[in-house]
C-alpha cells in the first residue's frame, strides 16, 4: 500500500489555482522563486486570457503543482512513484527533487517556446474523443491526417492535427455517433507536427542541472520507470512529439503497489481516471479540498485504512 502523486497538464487552469499554495510559507516561497526566475509575478497571469497562453500556462502549471507539493510534503509520506500528464511530467521532476523550482519554471517556459515555434510552421490543435477503440480511431486518424496524442483510457483519447485535419476527423466521428470535444490547447502536442520542438527542448534539458529523481517517475511515452537524469532527458524531450500512453502509466503505478493517488492542481481529471480504471484505488485532487491540512489528513487516513472506500 503506497502513495502515488499525479501531475496534470493544461486545460483546467482557474483563477483560484494558487490559493492553497499561497496559504503556506513554503508554497509562497516556491511561487516567489519561480516568479523571480521568469522575471514576472505569475500571479498576474490568473485571468481568462493569460493563464491559457501556452508560454504562460506551462510554467504556471508547473509552479502551481510544485508550490502545492512544497506546502504539503512535510505532512505526507514519501511517494512510491509519480506520473505526469503532458507538461505535468516535467513538473513531476520538480516534485521528485530532480530540479529546483526556479530551474523548473525556466525549463517549462523553454518547452512552451519550443512548441510555439514549431507550431508556427505546423499549426494545429487538439480534440478529445470518447467511445471508440484505439485501432478504429487510428484508422480514422490516418484518413483525416490526424494523430493519437494521448491514450487516456481504452476508449478515450486526445487527438492532435492541423485545423483541417481536426475538422475532417470530427466530421467522420459525427457521422458515426462518436463523441468529440474541443480542448483549450493551441498546439498539436504529442504529435509529429511538433517534432521540430524536440531538439531545442533536449538542449535545454542537457544544459540544465536536472539530476536523478528522489523517487521513480513513470515516463509518459512508454510507462517505464525513470530513476536517472539520462533517462529523464531521453523520455521528456521526445514526449513533445510522441503519443502519451497515460492508461499504461496508471497501470504501472498500480503494479508498483500504489493504491492512494493524490492529484496536484489544477483540476480533477486524473483522479477521476484512476477511480474509473482501478476499483481498489482511492484518488482525489488537491482542488477538491478547502485546506492543506485536509489533504494530508485524507492521505493519512486512506493509507491507514489500506485504501478502499
**Which residues pair with residue 160 across a beta bridge?**
126, 147
- Over residues 270-284, the pLDDT tens digits come to 999 999 999 999 999
Residues 169, 137 share a domain: yes
Domain identity same for 216 and 84: yes
Q: State phi, psi for 263 to the nearest 5 degrees.
A: -95, 120
Dist CA 294 CA 20 (whole Å) = 11
Which tens digits make up the pLDDT trace of 187-213? 999 999 999 999 999 999 999 999 999
Cα separation, 255 vs 232, in Å, equals: 21
pLDDT band at 88 (very low <50, low <70, confident <90, very high): very high
**pLDDT at position 307 over 60:** no
Give a yes or no: residue 10 inside a domain: yes
Confidence band of 49 (pLDDT split at 50, 70, 90): confident
* Domain final residue pick, 161, 182, 203: 182
Three cell numbers, residue 260: 492512494
In this model, does residue 308 exceed pLDDT 70? no
Range of the domain at 268: 2-119+192-305
Please state, rounded to an integer, the average pLDDT across all residues of the chain.
Answer: 96
Q: Say yes or no: 283 and 204 in one domain.
A: yes
Provide the number of structural domains found in the chain.
Answer: 2
CATH of the domain at 163: 3.30.70.250
Shared domain for 103 and 238, answered yes or no, is yes
CATH number, position 248: 3.40.366.10
Q: 156 and 212 in one domain?
A: no
Does 49 share its domain with 167?
A: no
Q: Is the pLDDT of residue 237 over 90?
A: yes
Amino acid at each position: 500500500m503506497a502513495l502515488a502523486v499525479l501531475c496534470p497538464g493544461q486545460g483546467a487552469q482557474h483563477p483560484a489555482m494558487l490559493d492553497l499554495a499561497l496559504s503556506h510559507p513554503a508554497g509562497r516561497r516556491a511561487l516567489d522563486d519561480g516568479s523571480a526566475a521568469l522575471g514576472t509575478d505569475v500571479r498576474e497571469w490568473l485571468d481568462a486570457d493569460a493563464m491559457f497562453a501556452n508560454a504562460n500556462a506551462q510554467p504556471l502549471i508547473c509552479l502551481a503543482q510544485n508550490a502545492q507539493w512544497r506546502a504539503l510534503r512535510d505532512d505526507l509520506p514519501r511517494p512510491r512513484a509519480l506520473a505526469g500528464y503532458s507538461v505535468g511530467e516535467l513538473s513531476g521532476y520538480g516534485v521528485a527533487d530532480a530540479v529546483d523550482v526556479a530551474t523548473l519554471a525556466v525549463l517549462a517556459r523553454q518547452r512552451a517556446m519550443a512548441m510555439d515555434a514549431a507550431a508556427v510552421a505546423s499549426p494545429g490543435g487538439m480534440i478529445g474523443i470518447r467511445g471508440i477503440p484505439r485501432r478504429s480511431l487510428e484508422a480514422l486518424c490516418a484518413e483525416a491526417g490526424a494523430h493519437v496524442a494521448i491514450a487516456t483510457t481504452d476508449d478515450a483519447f486526445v487527438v492532435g492535427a492541423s485545423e483541417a485535419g481536426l475538422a475532417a476527423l470530427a466530421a467522420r466521428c459525427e457521422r458515426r455517433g462518436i463523441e468529440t470535444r474541443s480542448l483549450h490547447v493551441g498546439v498539436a502536442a504529442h504529435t509529429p507536427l511538433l517534432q521540430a520542438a524536440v531538439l531545442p527542448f533536449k538542449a535545454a534539458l542537457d544544459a540544465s542541472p536536472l539530476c536523478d529523481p528522489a523517487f521513480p517517475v513513470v515516463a509518459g511515452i512508454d510507462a517505464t520507470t525513470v530513476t536517472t537524469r539520462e533517462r529523464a532527458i531521453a523520455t521528456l524531450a521526445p514526449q513533445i512529439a510522441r503519443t502519451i500512453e497515460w492508461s499504461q502509466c496508471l497501470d504501472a503505478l498500480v503494479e508498483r503497489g500504489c493504491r492512494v493517488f493524490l492529484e496536484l492542481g489544477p483540476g480533477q481529471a486524473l483522479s477521476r481516471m484512476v477511480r474509473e480504471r482501478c476499483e481498489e484505488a482511492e484518488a482525489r485532487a488537491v482542488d477538491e479540498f478547502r485546506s492543506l491540512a485536509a489533504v494530508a489528513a485524507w492521505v493519512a487516513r486512506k493509507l491507514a485504512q489500506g485504501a478502499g472506500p
